[in-house]
Structure 1
């Protein structure tokens, strides 16, 4: 995979500001938003709906900035940001099928553990986000799809192109930098969240570099995000608000 993006001054400034936000602002805002949701979830019926709406709006705003950077730069092609047909279509097909199978089988295992009252790995980190009503469930699915598409476009597509075209980094160095920035986004889940996001980001980045397209990373991200938010039952309502998570994804 090779890319040669040539960012315009306006796109450079926009992406630099966006990158600074993703590195410094997003981790703090994400942790604050989730902690607020965890405190209010047990006592406010519309807390989760409001959380998902805010998160959806924020994700699409970030994606819009990435699109603006592309449109402001005649020297940046869509393929430089991963919007292209994959170099190896067969790998993408197999990858999508495999990730779907893994999501379904692992989802059943997690659901069985939950029903049996056993420890479910990673549940504590997203417990406040688990939907309990049809409306919340629909928004959870929308959030999972949006998360998969927008995160890949912004963190993998835009940041790697910026690292190559503006910072002058080698493709793999730019990819490593994007993984580090993505890992920091897991701060809202505590220290273990940093490791989980880092490992997940590294996997998706590797798939992007191997196929030359964001199609497979987006598909895998969507499938796993939707699984995480829909396979487990929501926490039992109680008078005691949930506490902020410190576990894994």
Structure 2
């Protein structure tokens, strides 16, 4: 995979502002937002819906800035942002089908564990985001799809192109920097969340570099996000009845 983006001054400014926010502002904002949700989840019936609505608005705003950075640079092609067909379509389709099968199998297992009240790996870190009603489930799916689309465009497409075209980095150095920025976004889940985001981001970045397209990373991200955000929320223990 090779890219040669030529960022204009305006495009560089837009991308730089977004990159700085993602590195320094997003971890802090994400932690505060999730902490607030966790505190209000059991006392405000629509707390999760409002939280997800804000998340959707932020993701589409970030994606709009990424598109603006592309449009403001006449010397930058859409393929420089990963908006192209995969170099090896057969591998991409095979990867999507494989991940889909794994997600379905693991999702069934996770649902079964949750229904039996047993531990589901990683569930505690996102417990406040798990849906309890049909409305919450619908918006959770919308968030999962949006997360896959917009996060890949921003973290893989824009940041790697920015590292190469504006910072003058080697492709793989720019990719490593994008993984670092993505990793700190997991701070709202604690230190383990940062590690999980780093590993997940590294995998998605590798898929992008291997195919030259965001198609496979987006598909994998969406599939796994839908699986995780549709897990049933753990039931809260009922308060003990007073002794007669």
TM-score, normalising length from structure 1?
0.94
Alignment of 1:118-137 (within 5 A): 118-137=118-137
Q: 1:236 and 2:235 equivalent? A: yes
- The answer to whether the 8 Å contact 2:114/2:234 transfers is no
2:48 matched to which residue of 1? 48
TM alignment of 1:120-159, pairs within 5 A: 120-159=120-159
Q: Distance in 1 between matches of 2:88 and 2:65?
A: 29
| CA distance in structure 1 between the aligned counterparts of 2:234 and 2:228, rounded to whole angstroms | 14
1:22/1:185 contact within 8 Å kept: yes
| 3-state SS in 2 of match to 1:235 | coil
Partners of 1:139 and 1:112 in 2: CA distance: 23
Pick the structure with greater CA Rg: 2
Q: Cα deviation per residue 1:127-153 (whole Å; 9 max; x = unaligned)?
A: 000111111111000000000000000
Q: Does structure 2 conserve the Cα–Cα contact (< 8 Å) formed by 1:43 and 1:239?
A: no
Structure 1 CA distance for aligned equivalents of residues 114 and 132 of structure 2: 15
Do 1:42 and 1:239's aligned partners in 2 also have CA atoms closer than 8 Å?
no
Residues 212-241 of structure 1, C-alpha deviations (whole Å, 9 max, x = no match) = 0000000000000000011x222335799x
* TM-score, normalisation: structure 2: 0.96
Instruction: Structure 2: state its 5+ residue gaps.
Output: 240-244
Q: Confirm or deny that 1:218 pairs with 2:208.
A: no
In the alignment, the residues of structure 2 paired with residue 97 and residue 11 of structure 1 have an alpha-carbon distance, to the nearest angstrom, of 36
Unmatched 5+ stretches in structure 1: 241-249
Provide the alpha-carbon RMSD of the alignment: 1.2
Aligned pairs (5 A) from 1:57-206: 57-206=57-206
